[in-house]
Amino acid sequence: LLIAIMGDIFDNIQENANSEFLFARAEIIIEIENMLSTSDLKNEEWFPIWLQVLVPTQSDEDNGSSDAWQGKMRALRKTITDVEAKLGSEISDLKTKLVESDAERRLAEAKRDEAMTELSTQIKLSNAKSDRMEEMLSQLLGQKMEEEQNDTKEKEEGGEA
C-alpha cells in the first residue's frame, strides 16, 4: 500500500513538475525586480520594450521518450485520448457505412415492392384471362351438349318415322 501511495505521489509530482518550475522561475524574477530601483527598471538595456521568446522545435510530448518521466497519469491520458480519437474515427466510418447500407436497403425494398406490384398485376391479368377462358369453355361445352341433345332427338325422331 505504501509503495502504491508513493507511486501516486510521484506521478502527481511528475505531472506538475514543469508548471511548478515555471511558477518558481516567475517568483524569482518578481523577487529580483522588487529589489531593483525605479531607475534600474527604466534601463532599456536590461528591460527592452520588446520581448524575445524561444520555442523548442520539438516538444517533449511529441518524441514519446519522455513518457516515463512525465508520469504514468499523463501517459495514460495520452493513450486514452489517442484511443478516443481512433474510436471516434471508426464510429464515424461505421455511421457512414450504416447510412449507405440503409440507402441500399431502401432501394432494394423499393425494387422489391415494384416487382411485387408488377407480379400482382400479371397475376390479376392471368386470372382475368383464365376466367374468360373458363367462360368460353362453358359456352362451348353448353353448345356441344345442345348439339348432342339435338342429334339424339333427331335420331330418335328419325327412328320413329
DSSP string, 91-105: HHHHHHHHHHHHHHH
Regarding pTM above 0.75, the answer is no
pLDDT, tens digit (0-9, with 9 covering 90-100), for 60-119: 555 554 545 556 777 778 889 999 999 999 999 999 999 999 999 999 999 999 999 999
Q: What is the pLDDT of residue 89?
A: 93
**5-10 contacts at long range (C-beta below 8 A, 24 or more positions apart):** 7/72, 10/71
Query: To the nearest whole percent, how much of the chain has pLDDT over 90?
Result: 47
Higher pLDDT, 38 or 15: 38
Q: Return the DSSP state at 46.
A: T
Query: To the nearest whole percent, how much of the chain has pLDDT over 70?
Result: 88
Residues 145 and 148: their CA atoms lie apart, in Å, by 5
pLDDT band per the 50, 70, 90 thresholds, residue 56: confident
Q: Is the pLDDT of residue 2 over 90?
A: no
Q: What is the pLDDT of residue 20?
A: 87
pLDDT band per the 50, 70, 90 thresholds, residue 7: confident
Residues 55 and 62: their CA atoms lie apart, in Å, by 14
Please count the other Cβ atoms lying within 10 Å of the Cβ belonging to residue 71. 20
Residues 147 and 157: their CA atoms lie apart, in Å, by 15
Q: What is the pLDDT of residue 52?
A: 76
- Residues 42-70, mean pLDDT to the nearest whole number: 68
pLDDT, tens digit (0-9, with 9 covering 90-100), for 113-126: 999 999 999 999 99
- Residues 117-137, mean pLDDT to the nearest whole number: 94
